[in-house]
Structure 1
Amino acid sequence: MYESASLDSVEVRAYRNLVRVREATPSQLARRLNLSGREAARLLATLEAKGLVSRAEGSAQRFRASPPDLALGPLLLSRQQELHAAESVMAELTEEYRRQTRRRGSVETVETVTGAPAMARTFDQLQRGARDEILALCKPPNVAVPSRGNDTQLEVLASGVRYRALYERSALEVPPEVFRIREFVACGEQARVAAEVPVKMAVADRQLAMLVSSPLPTMDAGGPAATPCAEPTARPSAVLVRPGALLDALIAFFESLWAGASPLALTEDGLVGERESDRTPPPEDLLLLSLLLTGLTDTAVAGQLGTSLRTVQRRIRDLIEFAGVRTRMQLAWEASRRGWL
């Protein structure tokens, strides 16, 4: 907050000190802050110019703190207005960028990013720009993630953004990778594993997807790359896909893979493992599920079970959470896959 009000650390200490006392002279403030008398006088003059302190009535050498809401409120409001103005400019530039892209003949708003450094920056920006959820398809090797790991994900998870990550099983066989996955799961990531993940992808808030293509394999010295006519190894690249039919298809593709994958969880020894899938809902929930699959409405199911509509809907939500899916259709598919009915 103080940085937003353009206060340095010494000014913050002085203002907080004055808030705690009724009033103080430059010499008193100097002793408290371990400053010279001249430094304290200049500091008080600066705070007075910023409206943070005022002179006590009847004394030109005694200063008191101004009320924080009056002193800091206008400064913070000014910064907020600057931020809103910057957001408006960004929105205008983004819309202009998309218009120009469409005008150049692109049916979908697709942009190419080439080279590992540029991909790493873009991936970092994609994560930091998310507000609700990130969907990720992950498979070795990492191209857009720095060698030290995806530290940004830990920060974004801590801010409340949900992560759903689907890993290729081979990632669990690479020690550095599995240690990192364990850290993400411990911090709240919802993780699943599949035998094979066909592509690397991340989607932020269902508004922007980053689809990564791996570079061509490097030829050894005795292979075709040693000949003058050999094609050079391609640099890694990615495409950014913005709202449109292609992005909708990519999200549906992710959900399809997610529904068929096995959940990952931390085992008792702190390692990452596939969650046991032999658990089944209690018999009363299986009865409810079987009635749903016959095509009965929630109201009809409630009548059959002799319970309320609200109870039926709550139990359906609990079943969806139990199965680790998002929709009723996925719940039906998962119940069939696991042999519940």
Structure 2
Amino acid sequence: MEPLFEGATAVPTEDHQGDVRVHRLNGSAEICEHIENLAFVTHSEVLGALRLDRLTPPGRELYEYLTFRWLRRGVKIHYLFDASVLNDASALTYVRQISAAGAGVRIAAALKSNLLICDNRSALLCANSEEPEDGAVVTKEPDLVTVVRDLFSQAWEQAGGLGQVAEEPCCLTPADQELLTLILKPGKDRIRARELGVSLRTFHRRVADLYERLGVSSRTEAALVAREYIDA
């Protein structure tokens, strides 16, 4: 199994005698069903490491629904998110909402995969970091749950708080920089969209997302912050 975090070792799936110590889940349906079942029997604490950018829309919706449900029931939540959420407007909104609702949130620079620990009794680890909904392993073996919790705690200590990282300028990709440069040029949006090779609707959606990440609401405001993001 691939390490959960940079530098972490994989959690063993067998003991020295070869006895199976975990239960394997195959496919998103089994994983979602198991997580939903966990939600009903979890009463005190949830620890999670989440790569939202690698979940399908239904998978993200399930986590969002259960997170708010846990918070309403008074369950303590500590979530570790990958830094990719800082460049995803909808994901960042969700992270800020659960933080405001009482969840502990930190941002890791290089989160490898997804995991969930419930009430320190059960740990779920995604087996494929690139496709976390392809399969997962679950254990209730106390020693293994402790190992997973220790990995989470190490990553949590190394991560930054949401306020700390959110105040830093967002990181723009070369495509984002190209879009920002294009926005600042004189001309019509239809021509700009054609230059990018996208539809006008897609162009407007990309511009709206970029504005939200930059914290601006107009072309004029974008021009004021452009020098911070466009390479010389």
Q: Structure 1 length normalisation: TM-score? A: 0.40
Partners of 2:106 and 2:129 lie apart in 1 by 26
Report the counterpart of residue 35 of structure 1 in structure 2.
Answer: none
Give distance in 1, aligned partners of 2:156 and 2:57. Answer: 22
5+ long unaligned stretches in structure 1? 1-101, 218-233, 266-272, 277-341
| Number of aligned residue pairs | 151
Identify the residue that residue 220 of structure 1 maps to in structure 2. none
RMSD: 2.9
- How do 1:1-341 residues align onto structure 2 when only pairs under 5 Å count? 107=19, 109-139=21-51, 140-142=53-55, 146-149=59-62, 150-214=64-128, 236-265=134-163, 274=165
Read off the aligned partner of 1:260 and give its amino acid letter: Q
Deviation at 1:106, TM superposition (A): 6.2
1:172 to partner: Cα distance: 2.1
Structure 2 regions of 5+ residues with no counterpart? 1-13, 168-232
Question: Does the Cα contact within 8 Å between 1:215 and 1:236 map onto a contact in 2?
Answer: no
Whole-Å Cα distance in 2 between the matches of residues 253 and 129 of structure 1?
23
Alpha-carbon distance, 1:213 to partner: 2.7
Q: CA deviation at 1:129?
A: 1.8
Contact 1:119–1:237 (8 Å) recurs in 2: yes
Change (3 A) 1:212 1:172: same
**3-state secondary structure, aligned to 1:274:** helix
Q: Which amino acid aligns with 1:162?
A: K
Shift in CA distance, 174/188, structure 1 to aligned 2, threshold 3 Å:
same
Separation in 2, partners of 1:144, 1:176: 12
State the one-letter code of the partner of 2:32.
A
Equivalent residue letter for 1:141? R
CA 1:106 to 1:123, structure 2 compared with 1: closer, same or farther past 3 Å?
Answer: farther
Q: 2 CA distance for matches of 1:258 and 1:144?
A: 26
**Which position in structure 1 is the counterpart of 2:184?**
none
1:63-109, Cα deviation, whole Å (9 max, x unpaired): xxxxxxxxxxxxxxxxxxxxxxxxxxxxxxxxxxxxxxx9xx76463
Q: Are residues 216 and 200 of structure 1, via their aligned partners in 2, closer, same or farther at CA, if it must alter by over 3 Å?
A: closer
| d(CA) in 2 for partners of 1:256, 1:147 | 25
Q: Identical aligned pairs, as a percentage?
A: 19
Q: Given the two structures, how large is their TM-score scaled by the length of structure 2? A: 0.57
Conserved 8 A contact 2:81-2:108: yes
**Structure of larger gyration radius:** 1
Aligned-pair distance for 1:117?
Answer: 1.5
The Cα offsets for residues 135-169 of structure 1, whole Å up to 9 and x where unpaired, read as 11111312595353521110111111000011110
1:215–1:134 CA distance, 2 compared to 1 (3 A): closer
Q: Secondary structure at the match of 2:54?
A: coil
Distance 1:138 1:215, change over 3 A: closer
**Greater CA drift, 109-118 or 207-216:** 207-216
User: SS where residue 146 of structure 1 aligns?
Assistant: helix
1:131 match: secondary structure: coil
Which amino acid in 1 is paired with 2:165?
A: E
Aligned partners of 1:115 and 1:155: how far apart in 2?
A: 24
Per chain length, whose mean CA-contact separation is higher, i.e. which structure has more relative contact order (CA < 8 Å, sep 6+)? 2
Q: Give the SS at the match of 1:178.
A: helix
Give the 3 Å change call, closer, same or farther, for CA 235–252 of structure 1 in structure 2.
Answer: closer
Letter in 1 for 2:47: L
How far the C-alpha of 1:124 sits from its partner, in A, is 1.9
